[in-house]
Amino acid sequence: MSRRRPEDGLGKAGPCVMRHHPPRSKAEVWRTLRGGGGRGELAMSGLGRLFGKGKKEKGPTPEEAIQKLKETEKILIKKQEFLEQKIQQELQTAKKYGTKNKRAALQALRRKKRFEQQLAQTDGTLSTLEFQREAIENATTNAEVLRTMELAAQSMKKAYQDMDIDKVDELMTDITEQQEVAQQISDAISRPMGFGDDVDEDELLEELEELEQEELAQELLNVGDKEEEPPVKLPSVPSTHLPAGPAPKVDEDEEALKQLAEWVS
């Protein structure tokens, strides 16, 4: 019995060779899934549903959110009023029964406690909604301010886009030079022309000094020719003494008493 060799089972087709493909990267796998026609799209849609990556719904605008919060706040305020009324009713019921019907009074107090708990929860929820609404309003205001500032910055940039600091410096230099030229032209026009520009100023000063000396000498000569003026007569001192003061006045009553005494004597 002959032993069978491994080559005998290969047949005429020759030996079967196993081919090992190199591992593919994630990018290649992703391209294969996307480019595989209907099967690739079907696989992608299945993965999307599996991991919740469907189309995202568009969220509400800040104005819509604020309006919705305000409506919810109104509902909670009405609930607060209702719970407050129920608490007062249960309190009156407990007072009404008192010791007459202890069981009914206790049930009323239990209901009152439940309503108070609900009221506290409603108060907390309302505070949270108010805080959230104010935060959205502030965020909306800040966003609007930021958009306005951005528009202002763009407008300023557009206004200065055709301006260059080097060109501005050149322009200011040209203006300064033109002003200097204009000043030189004004000085040239206002400068006197004709005879007299070549006269020496020192000669004019010497001539003026000679004239002043002549006038001073003439005044000195005229001083001796003037006539002497007569002296001024002053009033003479009076020889009589002036009274020191007015004479004292005699009392009329004393004079009348003296006349009466002479007549009696």
The string over 36-67, giving b where at least 16 C-beta atoms fall within 10 Å of a residue's C-beta and e elsewhere, is: eeeeeeeeeeeeeeeeeeeeeeeeeeeeebbe
HSE on the CB side for 193, CA within 13 Å? Answer: 4
Q: Is residue 158 part of a domain?
A: yes
Q: Is residue 171 part of a domain?
A: no
Q: Is residue 133 part of a domain?
A: yes
> SS3 for 205?
helix
Going from the C-alpha of 45 to that of each of 28, 31, 160, 247, 253, the distances in angstroms are 18, 15, 52, 145, 148
The predicted pLDDT at position 11 comes to: 45
Q: Is residue 218 part of a domain?
A: no
The predicted pLDDT at position 99 comes to: 77
Q: Is residue 108 part of a domain?
A: yes
User: Distance between CA 68 and CA 113 in Å, rounded?
Assistant: 31
Least reliable range by pLDDT among 21-25, 84-88, 206-210: 21-25
Question: Which CATH number goes with the domain that contains 127?
Answer: 1.10.287.1060
- In this predicted model, what pLDDT tens digit does every residue of 50-107 receive, in sequence order? 555 555 667 888 899 999 999 999 999 999 999 999 999 999 999 888 878 888 889 9
Domain around 100: 63-163
**Global confidence as pTM:** 0.41
- Phi, psi (deg, nearest 5) at residue 50: -65, -45
- In this predicted model, what pLDDT tens digit does every residue of 148-177 receive, in sequence order? 999 999 998 888 887 888 888 888 999 999
Q: Is residue 148 part of a domain?
A: yes
Q: Is residue 239 part of a domain?
A: no
What total number of domains does the chain contain? Answer: 1
Q: Is residue 26 part of a domain?
A: no
Average pLDDT, the chain: 76
pLDDT bin (cut points 50, 70, 90) of residue 10 is very low
- Asked if 122 contacts 83 with a C-beta cutoff of 8 angstroms, the reply is yes
pLDDT bin (cut points 50, 70, 90) of residue 15 is very low
- In this predicted model, what pLDDT tens digit does every residue of 128-154 receive, in sequence order? 999 999 999 999 999 999 999 999 999
